[in-house]
Amino acid sequence: MSKPDTQALEAAYRQMKTIREFEERLHLEIQQGQIAGFTHLYSGQEAVAVGVCDHLSDDDLIASTHRGHGHCIAKGCDIVGMMKEIYGRADGLCKGKGGSMHIADFDKGMLGANAIVGGGPPLATGAAIATRNAGKGHVTVSFGGDGSCNQGTVFEAMNLAVVLKLPTIFVFEDNGYSEHTGTDYAVGSKDIAGRCRGFGMPAAKVNGDDYFEVYEGMREAVERARSGEGPSALECTTTRFFGHFEGDPQRYRAKGEVERHRAERDCLKIFEARVLREGWLDDASLRRIDAEVMQLIERAVHEAQAAAPPSLGELTTDVYASY
Amino acid sequence: MTETTFRQALNDALFEEMRRDERVIILGEDVSGGAGGSSGERDASGGIFGVSKGLIFEFGENRVIDTPISESAIIGAGAGAALAGLRPISEIMFADFVGVCLDQIYNQAAKFRYMFGGKANCPLVIRTAMGAGMNMGAQHSQTIYPILTGVPGLKIAVPSNAADAKGLLKTAIRDDDPVVFFEHKALYNRKGEVPEGEHLVPFGEAAMPREGDDCTVVAMGRMVVFAEKAIDGLKDSGISCDLIDPRTLSPLDTETIFESLEHTGRLVVVDESPPRCSVASDIAGIVASEAFGALRAPIKLVTAPHAPVPFARELERAYMPGPGDIALAIQEVVRG
Amino acid sequence: MASVLYPLTVPKWGIEMQEGTVTGWQVAAGANVSKGDELIDIETDKIVNTLEAPVSGVVCKQIAGEGETLKVGELLGVIATGDVTDAEIDEFVAGFKPANASFGIDDEPAAASEPAAAAEPAADSAASSAAVRVSPVARRLAKQLGVDLATVSGTGRNGRISKEDVERAAAASAAPVEALVTPLTSRRQSIARRLVAAKQDVPHYYLNRTVDMSRALERKSESVAVNALVMLAVAKALVEHPLLNSHYTSEGLAARPTVDINMAIDTEQGLVAPLLREVNTLDAAALTAASRELAERARANGLAQSDLESGGFTVSNLGVLGITDFTAIITPPQTGILAVGAVRETPVVSGGSIAAKPLMTVTLSADHRVVDGADAARFLATLASEFDSL
């Protein structure tokens, strides 16, 4: 592999690191009771979101999941606005009305996180009809977990995308667990990519812990979509460092599993080792990015904590465009 | 009487009915939990709210079935197993997910008996957690029972306390019709007295946890708790109320509502759902058309606004009807 | 991290966790720990789990002891990620405020006490799987009426006992009520006898008319009572219409030479109607004084036999008791009795505009053997005009 663009590498690292620290900080904030609700953290899966979204512009559209913070950040959503949303503040990205599971930013081509498993793929499929008709070569991507690949909505969306030859990519992140149940149990064929091929589209399986593998796997799918050849699927095996939701005691995981994954399958460490070994980036620039990211996260938390909650008048606004 | 949580009362009901009748099975996402994956604990969750905890060790994987995240299949398979002679309990983790599998509920299970000329038996129970108050946002907080209460062929249970949770669930499991059983998330930890021994609560028979003279308050699910609080708070101001907890919304014990109204002449209906086509508006409509003569004041509804459930804590609090809203409504109908 | 001191707080495990009990510390005070090390075992109502170190540092303070139960977000201990003095640690602990929400369930605002506990467990919901099925309202009614539910058969939903069933059972089983009998006083006996006779013998008919009391109210003063003005008006009308001041006998109509009017008075012992004599000769003030004196004596039980003689006509006024109109029974041998209602401000359309006027409805009961309807109506017309010319 020839040396990738330094700026792009730094940007990828910065995005992955931002997601990581955003989530690790949320974990602490939630444990201290600072944040309400039902939060699903993306830590451990950063290489997937960033490896995929590094191929996309603001005009390419994504549909995300309940575990959507990583997708939002990788697609360019404002960190402070996201933090404020998760804190339920009036100037959060969705005015505090959506929360962690419902962050959207249409200016960035982020069609929304989704608290219904399997809710996103049909939406991305429909959005691909729009980008196809617009004829500007823009594509759509749906993210889904291994759990979502068992939903009928996803099957229907995949078939429709093939039938209509739509410029969309189905990304499946297999982090090992559908909520509290193992992928090996819940996915009968134990082969998500193979299932996608059954619908008549090419599907690759990559190591989702490795940014470069995801990036390369995605390149082909995006090129195919942009050139009007139809949908593809990408299965990324990865891991999550936290529970299904914050507060999940994770009794279904063997003792030490998470620690082992953190030691051996940390996509940030894998990325860092690779760029240092190849001499693509140096340690100093990585540490400089680390410091900047920490500062940004600190600022986001600080601003979110200081921000005002929505006024009660907001309760019944935004239900309709007109009524 | 034993004091126990709403959650434990449901768990006891499941154990008792599964021991009593081996045709009873339970299926859903993580109803046991921990299948596959690394070798963590089996029965790691026992349902995400712990209601089905422990079942797998006694009844095994043929009767306690962890499913993939496939709501349509969970309901459809439950309905099919019921047609074939089992008495399945299908669990939909959050009631909002009924959106994914509505066809299997309202086109399939609900209509079998009628469409097939009375030949089909579909003793399916759909258990699901509902309700706002935990900052879970628009897709994990709804009380969707009005949508299903309107479907002929379905029975709808909405328990408000531990004893009724147990008694209604046991009745639901023994019932030969499809029953949708709504469990309010905020009630799971709430303790209450549960009678010892076999305890069944019949469908279509309301309870009256408070008795009084000035107003009839009808509330369901968690709103019963709030209504009790409101009514108890009004005692000092000289207002007393009949509080009716219908317990099942279909069948609905209109008889008890009418009987109480003949006594009080005033009606407040409390419903956590938005007001349009809600159970509150349904009860108000029934009373207006069948018991108008008993009314001495206009009916008042206390409901959520016509909006999805918001995320921010402050908004969600404003969204949910609370004891204060209920007390105000009672005072308004009583004082005119 | 901004601070070198980091709080260890009760974590939130599970969606609904609200508090946890410390079952043990896995490290000693002063221990060096790395992020992720197991620190404290905490038990909830669902599970026992272990809190891991959120950051690397020294466990500089252990606050929660074994067996202590704390709410989510409350302080268990403190980790120092750098050098700190004891004073700084104490200050940190003293100043620590748990996040405003342990979140989880947004339970009833200001939930001071459990209302369920205060409630009477009563014969409620839960116990209704017992043998008898009965609606809650029916159960309450049965208790009130003393009906034994075991003896009632239900016709409600699925054979449940309804309110109607209880009412039916109560009616069927109702023993004839032993009424408390109070012996009749002689006045009661007299009233009963005379009024039954009057209703049986006298062919009553009734006419009513509403009169304008504006003028009467203008004249009303401390020494002039409205009722006296009414009596006066009646007296003048009787002078004009002597038929109403005569009575029926088998020989013929007996005309009364003087205008004497009985005034019905409510007393503790019952109704009495003492006589005011030659009312048409008195002025309003004298009549007021006379009728007040008479009423006082009537209420003090101090009426003489002569006071109770029958005059030619009776006036009964229930207006003071809020009655707007009513019909009275004629006291034989009289021919008429006037039932007087309350004076009320009433909207009156006059010349196309609405004005409030004090109106009063009077109802004449008349003996058809003596006087026909038209004559009686003319009497009322005169009466009405008398009020205008007071």
ipTM of the complex model: 0.89
d(CA B176, CA B153): 11
> What pLDDT does residue A98 have?
96
Calculate how close chain A gets to C104, using CA atoms only, in Å. 7
The dihedral formed by the CA atoms of C301, C303, C309 and C312, expressed in degrees to the nearest 10: -90
d(CA B215, CA B242): 6
Is some CB atom of chain A closer than 8 A to the CB atom of C47? Answer: yes
Calculate how close chain B gets to C74, using CA atoms only, in Å. 19
- B106 pLDDT band (50/70/90 cuts)? very high
> What pLDDT does residue B151 have?
98
Helix/strand/coil for B283 = helix
Q: Residue C359: is its pLDDT beyond 70?
A: yes
- Fill in the amino acid letter for A123: L
- Residue C381 has phi, psi (to 5 degrees) of -65, -45
Mutation target to probe the A interface, by most A beta carbons within 10 A, among B32, B38, B67 is B38
Q: Which residues contact C352 (CB under 8 A, 6 or more apart)?
A: none
The residue-averaged pLDDT of B27-32 equals 95
Nearest CA in chain B to C18: B189
d(CA B219, CA A103): 34
Q: Which residue has the tokens 């748990």?
A: C98
* Pair C197, C189: CB distance under 8 Å: no
- C102 pLDDT band (50/70/90 cuts)? very low
d(CA A292, CA A79): 13
The residue-averaged pLDDT of C328-336 equals 92
> What pLDDT does residue C165 have?
92
Size of interface A-C (CB pairs under 8 A): 46
Closest CA to B165 of B321, B272, B49: B49
Instruction: Using DSSP bridges, classify how beta strands C270-272 and C336-350 pair: parallel, antiparallel or unpaired.
Output: unpaired
Most distant pair of Cα atoms in chain C: their distance: 130
* Pair B26, B52: CB distance under 8 Å: yes
Q: In this predicted model, what pLDDT tens digit does every residue of C42-90 receive, in sequence order?
A: 887 667 788 888 888 999 989 988 888 888 888 899 999 888 888 888 8
The residue-averaged pLDDT of B47-64 equals 96
d(CA A253, CA C82): 34
Sort out which chain A residues have CB atoms less than 8 A from B29's CB and list them: 178-179, 181
> What pLDDT does residue C120 have?
37
Closest CA to A167 of A130, A120, A193, A199: A130
d(CA C359, CA C210): 6
Q: Which residue has the tokens 């620039």?
A: A285
Return the partners of chain C (3 or more C-beta pairs < 8 Å): A, B
Q: Strands, E, within A136-178: which ranges?
A: 140-145, 168-174, 177-178
Tell me how far the alpha carbon of residue C320 is from its chain's centroid.
22
- C103 pLDDT band (50/70/90 cuts)? very low
Q: Residue B245: is its pLDDT beyond 80?
A: yes
d(CA C376, CA C373): 5
Closest CA to B303 of B290, B286, B322: B322
Sort out which chain C residues have CB atoms less than 8 A from A247's CB and list them: 11-15, 17
Q: Residue C113: is its pLDDT beyond 60?
A: no
The two tokens of residue C67 are 């067996």
The two tokens of residue C262 are 């009985």
Strand partners, C25: C40
Q: Which residue has the tokens 């009063």?
A: C360
Q: Which residue has the tokens 């908004």?
A: B315
Return the partners of chain A (3 or more C-beta pairs < 8 Å): B, C
Pick the catalytic residue: B140, B184, B199, B263?
B140
Q: Residue B178: is its pLDDT beyond 70?
A: yes
B140 is catalytic: yes
> What pLDDT does residue C351 have?
84
Q: Which residue has the tokens 């921000």?
A: A307
Task: Name the pTM for this structure.
Answer: 0.72
Is some CB atom of chain A closer than 8 A to the CB atom of C242? Answer: no
d(CA A295, CA C131): 70
* Pair C376, C238: CB distance under 8 Å: no
Q: What is the DSSP letter of B235?
A: G
Cα distances from C84 to residues C6, C87, C360, in angstroms, run 12, 8, 94
The two tokens of residue C121 are 């467990």
Calculate how close chain C gets to A113, using CA atoms only, in Å. 20
* Pair A58, A109: CB distance under 8 Å: yes
